[in-house]
Structure 1
Amino acid sequence: MDESPHPDQPEPQDAVDAIGAQWHTVRPELDVSPMGVFGRIHRISRAVTDAAEKTYARHGISSGEFDVLATLRRSGEPYTLSPRQLSATLMLTTGGMTGRLDKLERAGLLSRSPDPTDRRALQVTLTERGFELVEAAVVAGLETQHACLAGLDREETAVLTGLLRKLLAGLPG
């Protein structure tokens, strides 16, 4: 889809269309259609991230802290992983993970203990309080995400999901 406006096209419909129109004015030979895709993905990501942060803040945690708790929760009983497993799943450095774990442990939402199979390693376990919090926060987070998708019906959501999956699979790295 060409995002460049043509004389017979309607006025820009959103800020990303306006950016494309500006580029078309100054560099009409450029195909700026990728800007239409990635500009919208970026703006959607920022808006949904902001909405999620507000949702999780009502539960006393950040999105990053939610990610740690949710990773432990969805790992299944006994809701225990190593810091290395958490870092790999969340694509965080060990230093970044340590900071999150410290804060969540101080809040009583998880505990760290020696790994019984490796004296040099630790295990991170969701506490009962952490379990209860993540159970409530995941429901609230999904409600927020559903609200963000309210402009699409189920079929449109499924088509968008498939297209984004295809786009993601085709990206380098």
Structure 2
Amino acid sequence: MPETVNPTGAGYWYRQSLETVGGVDVLNSLRAYRAAEAAMRRRTRDSMGMNETDLLAIRYVMRARQAGQSIGPKDLSRFLKISTASTTALIDRLQKGGYLLRRPHPTDRRALEIIPTDNADREVRETLGTMHQKMLDAAEALTSEEAATITRFLQQMTRALEADR
């Protein structure tokens, strides 16, 4: 069940004061969004019968294909930060499921290329298309000033989280 925004603005980590009212509300709203997104990812995994790594792999391969890039098993291993043996098992599983294909690399005879199937593209669009359109509609309803502020905030949050690595 998604987390809801605490109406008082206070939370476990953040104590409410006149100086923190807006900031705490923003962080609580961000937490609620993250919980809703995690629930959506679970529903997507369940409906497609996949685990998180499978979905990440398909998304990575589809983005590479859309960008005109050729990727192989080593690229997928590096992206997912998994062993080559785990990558082989993942590709085997996704190929058996009709989501990915291995084929000879177009310019390197020694290498393989991984590409998404038309079925993968169709299933991802059917599963996530409506939700992504709703998200795009919400983002496009923002004024350019609001979009700039939210973008700057999310970039700052990303940097704050990445600084803790």
What is the rounded CA distance, in whole Å, between the counterparts of 1:132 and 1:162 in structure 2?
A: 33
Is 2:64 aligned against 1:75?
Answer: yes
Is 2:8 aligned against 1:19?
Answer: no
- Gaps of at least 5 residues in structure 2 are 1-5
Q: TM-score, normalised by structure 1?
A: 0.59
Is 2:154 aligned against 1:161?
Answer: no
Is 2:108 aligned against 1:117?
Answer: yes
One-letter code aligned to 1:19: Y
Q: Is the 8 A contact 1:82 1:124 kept in 2?
A: yes
Matched positions, count: 150
Which one has a bigger Cα radius of gyration? Answer: 1
Q: Is the 8 A contact 2:62 2:115 kept in 1?
A: no
**Secondary structure of 1:71's match?**
helix
- Please provide the CA RMSD for this pair: 4.0
Q: TM-score, normalised by structure 2?
A: 0.61
- Tell me by how many angstroms 1:43 deviates: 5.0
- Gaps of at least 5 residues in structure 1 are 1-11, 25-30
Q: Deviations over 1:95-140 (max 9, x none)?
A: 5534432221110111223546253x43212123223223334414
Within the candidate set 106, 125, 138, 1:135 is matched to: 125
One-letter code aligned to 1:55: T
RCO higher in structure (CA 8 A, sep ≥6): 1
CA separation of 1:43 and 1:97: change in aligned 2, threshold 3 A: farther
Identity over aligned pairs, percent: 17
One-letter code aligned to 2:108: T
- Tell me by how many angstroms 1:56 deviates: 4.8
Q: Is the 8 A contact 1:55 1:141 kept in 2?
A: no
